[in-house]
Amino acid sequence: MMASSYNAKDEDGHISVSGPGGGALRSKKPENTAFKQQRLPAWQPILTAGTVLPAFFIIGLIFIPIGIGLYVTSNNIKEFEIDYTGVDMSSPCFNCSQNFSWNSTRPCTCTIPFYLEQSYENNVFMYYGLSNFYQNHRRYVKSRDDSQLNGDVNSLQYPSKECEPYAYHDNKPIAPCGAIANSMFNDTLELFYHPNGTKVPVPLTATGIAWWADKHVKFRNPGENQNLTAVFQGTSKPVNWRRPVYELDYDPLNNGFINEDFIVWMRTAALPTFRKLYRIINKKDNMVPTLQRGNYTLEVVYNFPVRSFEGRKRMILSTISWMGGKNPFLGIAYITVGSVCFFLGVVLLLIHHKYGNRNNSADISN
Amino acid sequence: MERLHWVWHRCQTLMGRESGQGWYSSTDGLPNKNSLDTQCSPHRVSGKRRTVFAHQGPHQHEYEAVSKNYKGNAIRTTKYRLLTFIPMNLFQQFRRAANLYFLFLALLNWVPVVEAFQKEITMIPLLVVLTVIAIKDALEDYRRYLYDKKVNNNDVRVFCGKQKEYVEQCWKDVRVGDFICLSCNEIIPADMLLLYSSDPRGVCYIETANLDGETNLKQRQVIPGLPLQGGEFTPENFHSRIECENPNNNFSRFRGYMEHSSGVRVGLHNNNLLLRSCTIRNTETVIGIVIYAGHETKAMMNNSGPRYKCSHLEKRLNTDVLWCVALLIIMCLTAAVGHALWLKNIKDPVFVIDVETPPALAGFYIFWTMIIVLQVLIPISLYVSIEIVKLGQIYFIHNDIDLYNELLDSRIQCRALNITEDLGQIQYLFSDKTGTLTENNMVFRRCSIFGVEYPHEENARRLEVCAVENKAAGHTMTLRPQPEPVPSTATWKEPHSLSEKEVVPDPELVKKLNWFCSPVLPLKEGSSGTSSSLELTYITDFFLALTICNSVVVSSSSQPRHVVPEARMPLKSLEEIKMMFQRFSFSPFTALSTLSPHQVKGSPRSFTSRLFTRGKTEFLTSSTPPNSSTSETDPGKESNLETSILRDKVDLPSQEKGGNSGPVEDDIKDAKTTDICCGAGPDLETDYDSDADDDLLYEAESPDEAALVHAARAYRCTLRGRSAESLLVDLPGIGSLSVQLLHILPFDSNRRRMSVVVRHPLTGQVVVYTKGADSVIMDLAETPKGDDQAQEIDCHIKEQTQKHLDSYAREGLRTLCIAKKVLEEEEYEVWLRRHVLAESSIDHREELLLESAERLETNLTLLGTTGIVDRLQEEVPETIEALQRAGIKVWILTGDKQETAINIAYACKLLGPYDQLLRANCGSKEACSAFLDELKLEVQHGQESLTDGVEAEDHEESSSRSFILVIDGKTLDWALQEELQSDFVELSRKCKAVICCRSTPLQKSQVVRLIRDQLRVMTLAVGDGANDVSMIQMADVGIGISGQEGLQAVMSSDFAVSRFKHLSKLLLVHGHWCYFRLANMILYFIYKNVMYVNLLFWYQFFCGFSGSVMTNAWVLIFFNLLFTSIPPLIYGILDRDLPADSLMAVPELYQNSHTSKLHLPYMFWITVLDAFYQSLICFFIPYFALTGSDVGVLSFGSPINASALLIVLLHQVLESHTLTWIHVLVLLLSGGSYFGFVLLFSVYCVTCSPPTNPVGVETLQMSQPLFFIICAITTVTALLPRMFFQALHNTVLCSAALNSSHLDKVESEKYRQRMQHWNRGHSKGNRLSVCVDNPGLEASAASVVS
């Protein structure tokens, strides 16, 4: 029925005897071209055991080494993860975690000791990980104003409707508006190394954690080069925030909307269990590993409530490789698929041997 | 769904009618419409009639009162006006379901709580579709507008009352009641009554090519009895009132009367009506009064749009779509329930904005959101794609050089655009015989007069030669495409017209015709070579009937389409001759008074002929053997013996008669020979022979009429000219005679005969000559009461003629019987009065005329019969064989005699020599029922014995022994009745073929409907004539053969070809291809949608069923609309699963699609399952690869999207059977367009497209190796199973299809040649069994088994 709807070709008021394309005065003989006579030279990919065989073996031969390579690479990546949610009574952060409120004025701090069994070479990436946090919820993802974040002054004063109900507070526009910004991760994580009972802070770099395109293209402070405080005058801070947006950092290149912690948070995670880059521990010189074996403590200023929705918070230390973070899956997958291909190739070889000989013309014919 | 569409369709037609823009009529439901017309038209003044007064006449008041509601002559076929185009067009478009669906989605997206994407994004599909269609509509409408403008502004001369002369006006200003003056070759602007013609006989000729494509001239007649006939017509003096029926679309019917001021009423009929858009020919000036104008003309009311037929595949598709809807609803429900549960379990989450909404309600909202998100699952775009694909397929069918006929310079015409794939599923083929299987190029073959058979041996020989030549030409033509240029259209007719004209006369008959002329022969009366004068009477009457009993229009080739000037008619001398003749023939009249009047009448004719052929005797006898013994020595003449016996019998009365009148006769003869033949006679003859003989062109309504006229001409009975009141005829020995034509009772399919009533030129009697189907004439020919002897002769003639008829039929000849009747003056007067009454009546005119004709055509005297040969078209046996091998049951439905039909069936190898014929000829319903049961049993027994006993035998032989049912019209009538239907169907199912003979057009369509509905099979009907129209319309696929019989069949068909042999390529190759292509494309399309939509669905499990997508919304929408839309189209248009050669060579391959293996439900589910699998792979490999990492929503979607695209495109490569550079190009472009779009978008789209702002995502992703690693493994893994199983399937279950496609070129060529050689060899023997083991076939079968 629907089909017909398109072809209910409208009645032509005129009598035409000729068919489509007809009516020419000269001979109506169709052109004898390969295209019109459907004789274009064609490759007929008829898949038979014989033709597919090589493909299977080749896939197998390519995939298995790649898989091994990936697996080895993934295994070489060092990763350390510590859950500091404080679900257990014994956990140092248990007390802090009992506070479900965003706006408690008294900061709650907890310290989690841990022991690194391996030393970490190269740059070490420090992540915070959240679980059961649906940053990909449809309404949540929408709740932002990209123009405002891009430095549009007008949007600063009149945030997009998408930001509702986090667009205005006390009749003042919220900057940055929306639920994503409002729920920004606001724990402070600090790392201390304890070589011999001493406490040495591990230097954490807060810049370079956001995408270049985000930092330089997508996010911009309104009113180029002006005093941020002045620019954001007349706006309200997001409800859950402790400080206004222009006080996120002292570094003017990492403040306001271009604060990288903020930018990282604003790139919503695809899955409910995710990690976000928090700091980078840069390698200092080639002789000393970035993080040595030994005792460390993680000092957390515990602000971000997750227990209401049974979420978890983690701190992750990881090195990365060319293929990203630690993930053995791809390597295993490649090896498996490669082996399966190889196996199927063998099966096909047997089949080909059994049946293929009879139709020896099974080559690709023209 | 179809139902719904149908309703729309009707609505559209109805609305179109009400608004008066177009009087479109569809082919069905005609009566329905007429009643509708009369009901819903407020402007009909006097109910069912319309009254017309002259516009410029004295009846101004009446004119104003009556005519103001009649439409003007301006036409407007456009559907829209400039200002209202947008609203109107939108309104039209939103009556379509697909658009409503899009609109619904777009509107749904405006509801804030369910909004899934940006508002504008969901509008895109709708906007794209609307715009495309609107542009198409606008262009079409504009074209129509231009055409209308052109037509409306044509000039025509209209009589202006003030200036008292004809002034130029535009067509659009013509009003009902205007007088219009037209000259030769002008087009008639409106339906008008012919009031004046410059032709002295008051006729004018029109060509109706614009209406029905027939190019022969039709004669129209000035309304009889107009006061000013003859002189100049003056409109001012026209005071008559015209009453006629309301506008309708029936071309062949017009009734009304004209009331003169004196109160006299004159009947009007079709013959007085000049139809709009016909062309005036051969007539200098014509004046008429407009009675219907503009949209009320018959031509405009007959405009019907293109046919709509819903293909079976589409119906199947609709169920698939319903499944998709079910799938969609399931998915949405899952999401809704999931979301509700998820919300319920989660407490006070910071990421849930809308915490107040109770979970159940939120779930409900999500349901609708998901419908927007997963909208692609319903393959709405598939419908648009199918349309495009079918257009492409039509394009290729239309361009096929094998379906091109060089002789006619005609390609195949594809009139229905949407049933291409039905061509690939035909199971029953119903064929007309005449003109479809045969050439419909009738050639006079032999005749029988007075019970004597004239075999025309020479004629037969000549025909044979012709046939062989033609056949050879046909073969070479199909074997290799001819490089030489096409012959111009002017010359193509040559072979046809030659064979038609050149009838070689039978020497015996010639001799008899000339018998009286020779001074020597009559003396030998009584010898076997001579005949009685009674027989000669019959012979001359026979030829006179052949010459005048027809509706042939004569024109001369030197002055095409111009009436032979009448000035040459030697009327004076004829009068003299007549006078003289009457003087001399007085005694024969009295002498023969004992015989019945019709015989008496004939006698003097024979005298004249005898008298006046004298001058030509030398000429004729020189060409024929001088002695009569030649007829006996002619080989292969079985009828000779009985002929001579007959002659002996007949001679008896003739001798007696001769004895009676002998001396007088001789006297007359002598007198004549000396008196006239030496004088005026010869001069007359030579005069005509020299200049006119080859100059005449006959344009006949049916080819057999022409054949008969040509045949008569070969015997020097030449039709020279025709006017409404008289016919100009040359007779041998007499010269030109003007025969006063009193009436023509035209041919109709109910009566199956036609008659002319003439006043005999010589005797002055009123004579009826009737020509018609043998069964009818034989029934009507009654033995005269009275004289025993005459009765005996008559019985004898009938008996003999019946014998000859049967033998003709066995030979496959078409038979026509000729009869005559002499009317007494009083008898004629009585009949005439009632006939005139019938003619002038408005209501029930047809019935009355029919009755009137039947009253006249009684008590006929059988003169003789003719056998007309209609050669088989070239390659018909081959085509039928191929079709049968393809599993198509071929039925022949013909109006011909049983024997003729069977014979043709043998000739075209529908019947094999071992086939068992089951003849069903029953008189009553009970008998029929019993007989059908009996036949069923017989067939069952036959089949059982075959299956039981002949296990060991070759299966080829058993299959060749099959049953053929031959059923005649009467029995068919019973069999088609409710109670016997199932028996009939049952029986016919078991038969290899069915031949229905003597069937009416209605029966043909009933048979088609019965089979179509009861067996639920695809039917194809092919025919060429008007009698096949109903059958063509009834069948799923109707094919018209554009042949000799006008274009009615073509106009009602879905496809029109010019030869029957084209069917094999059309069905076996194009049908197969179209079906496979479309079926594959549909599956692919569904696969594509399911696969892509599932990716989004799986994501819901990880976003709390909130309706999030991991892709930018634009990419999401464009994925189907842009990136992957062209490849399926190319796939659907260009894919070839098998080369054309193999399909033609191995017709059995066609059966694959018969059973619709390709589109069985399980194929649908396999496809859906595969799509599920692929989407799982495509989603979860990236998922596991990226889970736990810092991947963002869009970064997660990026590899998924890219690999989905690759999978979808590569899947098509796997599925394609052929890949050409076009495929490669399109695939590359599709892939390229995706990556190009996505990359550009991610660079330039900084703040656009919230919330899924893509800036930087893809560029970053594609710079990382992980992206490619993921894409590679995903693509490979997703396609692995299909590839593996395909390879396995192709290797293990190596099908015949695959095998034959592997036949390499050389081998297939050899094979084909062998087949052809073999076929030809067998066709010479003329007894080819259809399935006798074919060497070529066997070889291929063997290789198939291996």
Whether residue A47 and residue B133 make contact (CB cut-off 8 A), yes or no, is no
Whether B1218 has a binding-site annotation, put simply, is no
Determine contact: A44 vs chain B, CB below 8 A: yes
Q: Is B705 annotated as a binding residue?
A: yes
Q: B1246: nearest CA in chain A?
A: A218
Which residue does chain B place closest to A165, by CA atoms?
B353
Residues of chain B positioned with their CB less than 8 A from the CB of A2: 1, 5, 96-98, 101, 318, 321, 380, 383
Instruction: Check residues B747 and B799 and name the one with the higher pLDDT.
Output: B799
User: Within an 8 Å CB–CB cutoff, is residue A38 touching chain B?
Assistant: yes
All residues of chain A having their beta carbon less than 8 Å from the beta carbon of residue B144 are: 12-14
B21 is written with which tokens?
């823009």
pLDDT at B685 over 70: no
Residue A83 scores a pLDDT above 50: yes
Q: Does the annotation flag B218 for ligand binding? A: no
Q: Which chain B positions have a beta carbon within 8 Å of A240's beta carbon?
A: 350
Q: What is the mean pLDDT of residues B1236-1243?
A: 90
Contact criterion met (CB below 8 Å) for A29 and B409: yes
Contact B365, B111 (CB under 8 A): no
Q: How far is CA B231 from CA A32, B262, B574, B795, in A?
A: 59, 20, 27, 53
Is a pLDDT exceeding 70 seen at residue B427? yes
Q: Which has the minimum average pLDDT: B146-160, B641-655, B752-766?
A: B641-655
Q: What pLDDT is recorded for position B729?
A: 84
Query: How confident is the model over B500-550, as pLDDT tens digits?
Result: 456 777 777 777 777 654 444 443 444 444 456 778 788 888 888 888 888
Token match 């219907």: residue? B292
Chain A residue closest to B405 (CA)?
Answer: A29
With beta carbons under 8 A apart, name residues in chain A contacting B298.
none
Under an 8 A CB cutoff, do B1189 and A327 touch? Answer: yes
The top-scoring range by mean pLDDT among A199-203, B65-69, B236-240, B943-947 is A199-203
Chain A residue numbers with beta carbons less than 8 Å from the beta carbon of B146 are none
Q: Compute, in degrees rounded to 10, the torsion defined by CA atoms A147, A152, A157, A158.
A: -30
From the list B33, B16, B35, the residue with the least C-alpha distance to B76 is B16
**Are the C-beta atoms of B453 and B877 separated by less than 8 Å?**
no
Q: SS3 for B280?
A: strand
Is pLDDT above 70 for B1302?
no
| CA–CA separation, B1328 and A36 (whole Å) | 36
Residue B587 has pLDDT above 70, yes or no: no
Residue A128 touches chain B, beta carbons under 8 Å: no
pLDDT exceeds cutoff 50 at B597: no
Residue B1109 in this model has a pLDDT that exceeds 70: yes
Q: Is B1339 on the interface with A (CB under 8 A)?
A: no
Residue B305 confidence (pLDDT): 47
Which pLDDT value is given to residue B504? 75
**Closest by Cβ to A179, choosing from B353, B380, B1302:** B353
| Of residues A97, A13, A122, the one with CA closest to residue A313 | A97
**CB–CB of B349 and A2 under 8 A?**
no
Contact yes or no for B395 and A21 at CB 8 A: yes
The three state secondary structure string of B1197-1213 is: HHHHHHHHHHHHHHHHH
User: Would you tell me which residues 126-155 of chain B have a C-beta closer than 8 angstroms to some C-beta of chain A?
Assistant: 133, 137, 140, 144, 147-148
Q: What is the pLDDT of residue B1340?
A: 34
Per-residue H/E/C for B1236-1266: HHHHHHHHHCCCCCCCCCCCCHHHHHCCCHH
Residue-by-residue DSSP string for B26-78: -SS-HHHHHHHHHHS-TT-TBTTEEEE--TTSS-HHHHHHHHTTS--S-----
Least CB-CB distance to A19: which of B300, B380, B413? B413
With CA atoms as reference, the chain B residue closest to A212 would be B1256
Q: Touching check for A270 and chain B: CB below 8 Å?
A: yes
The answer, yes or no, to whether ipTM is higher than 0.95 is: no
Q: Tell me the mean pLDDT in the region B768-793.
A: 77
Whether A321 and A73 have beta carbons less than 8 Å apart is answered as yes
Query: How far is B230 from B342, CA to CA, in rounded Å?
Result: 98
pLDDT at B786: 59
Give the pLDDT confidence of B1076-1103 residue by residue, as tens digits: 888 888 889 889 999 999 999 999 999 8
Pairing relation of β-strands B279-281 and B273-274?
A: unpaired
Task: Provide the token pair at A142.
Answer: 């929408």
What token pair was written down for B1023? 């025919």
Beta bridge partners of B741: B758
Q: Where is average pLDDT lowest: A326-335, B7-16, B765-774, B830-839?
A: B7-16
Interface of B with A in 392-411 (CB under 8 A): 394-396, 398-401, 404, 406, 409-411
What's the whole-number mean pLDDT along residues B439-463? 78
Alpha-carbon distance of B204 to B285, in angstroms, equals 9
Q: Which of B191, B432, B915, B968 is catalytic?
A: B432
Q: Is A71 on the interface with B (CB under 8 A)?
A: no
Amino acid letter for position B999: S
Q: What is the DSSP string of B480-530?
A: S---SPPPPTTTTHHHHHHHHH-PPPPHHHHHHHTTTT-SSGGGGTTSTT-
B1220 vs A contacts (CB less than 8 Å) = 40-43
| A37·B413 Cβ contact <8 A | no
Residue B928 has pLDDT above 90, yes or no: no
User: What is chain B's length?
Assistant: 1346
The C-alpha of B413 sits at a distance from chain A's nearest C-alpha, in angstroms, of 5
pLDDT of residue B945: 64
Nearest CA in chain B to A51: B1287
| Of B306, B409, B1102, Cβ closest to residue A28 | B409
Question: What pLDDT, in 10s, does the model give residues A210-258?
Answer: 998 888 888 888 877 678 888 888 888 888 888 888 888 888 888 888 8
Q: Please report, in angstroms and rounded to a whole number, the separation of the first and last CA atoms in chain A.
A: 40
Strands (E), B368-414: 413-414
Give dist(CA B521, CA B349) in Å, integer: 126
Lowest mean per-residue pLDDT among B163-167, B475-479, B1277-1281: B475-479
| Residue A126 CB coordination number (10 Å) | 23
Region A161-175: mean pLDDT is 87
Relative to beta strand B179-183, strand B155-160 is antiparallel
Using 50, 70 and 90 to split pLDDT, how confident is the model at B668?
Answer: very low
Query: What is the number of residues in chain A?
Result: 366
Q: How confident is the model at residue B53 (pLDDT cuts 50, 70, 90)?
A: confident
Lowest mean pLDDT among A222-226, B1031-1035, B1068-1072, B1211-1215: A222-226
Mean pLDDT computed over B199-221: 71
Of residues B985 and B485, the one with the higher pLDDT is: B985
Q: In this predicted structure, what is the pLDDT of residue A353?
A: 83
Q: Which of A38, A63, A156 to mutate against chain B (most B CBs within 10 Å)?
A: A38
Q: What is the mean pLDDT of chain B?
A: 73
- To the nearest whole Å, the CA of A91 is away from the closest chain B CA by 23
Nearest to B205 by CA among B305, B261, B282, B111: B282
Is B874 known as a binding-site position? Answer: no
pLDDT higher than threshold 60 for residue B1311: no
If pLDDT is split at 50, 70 and 90, which confidence band does B494 have? very low
CB contacts of A46 in chain B (<8 Å) are 1217, 1290, 1298, 1301
More confident residue, B264 or B397: B397
Partners of A276 on chain B (C-beta within 8 Å) are 1190
Q: Rounded to an integer, what is the distance from CA B498 to the centroid of its chain?
A: 27
3-state secondary structure of B1312: helix
- Range list of H helices, B673-755: 680-692, 703-714
For B1314, the 3-state DSSP assignment is: helix
Q: How many helices (H) and strands (E) does chain B have?
A: 50, 33
Mean pLDDT of the region A18-33: 57
**Strand-pair partners of B51:** B243
Residue A346 confidence (pLDDT) = 92
Q: Which residue has the higher pLDDT, B878 or B575?
A: B878
Give me B547's structure tokens: 């010459």
- Predicted TM-score (pTM) above 0.90: no
Smallest CA–CA distance from A278 into chain B, residue: B1190
Count CB pairs under 8 A between chains A and B.
398
Would the annotation count B747 as a binding residue? yes
At residue B1155 the predicted structure's pLDDT band, cuts being 50, 70 and 90, is low
Contacts of B1197 in chain A (CB under 8 A): 270
Half-sphere exposure of B977 (CA within 13 A, CB side): 13
Asked if the C-beta of B1305 comes within 8 angstroms of chain A's C-beta atoms, the answer is: yes
Chain A residues touching residue B1108 (CB < 8 angstroms): 136-138, 141
Mean pLDDT of B979-992: 84
Tell me if B1261 sits within 8 A of B1116, measured CB to CB: no
- Collapsed DSSP state (helix, strand, coil) of residue B1040: strand
Average pLDDT over residues A114-136: 90
Query: Does the distance separating the beta carbons of B1106 and A134 come in below 8 Å?
Result: yes
The answer to whether the Cβ–Cβ distance between A14 and B147 falls below 8 Å is yes
Could you confirm whether B666 is annotated as catalytic?
no
Contact assignment for A330 to B211 by CB distance below 8 Å: no
Q: From the list A135, A340, A351, which residue is nearest B1288 (CB)?
A: A351
Q: Does B1270 touch chain A (CB under 8 A)?
A: yes
Check CB contact of B1275 with chain A, cutoff 8 Å: no
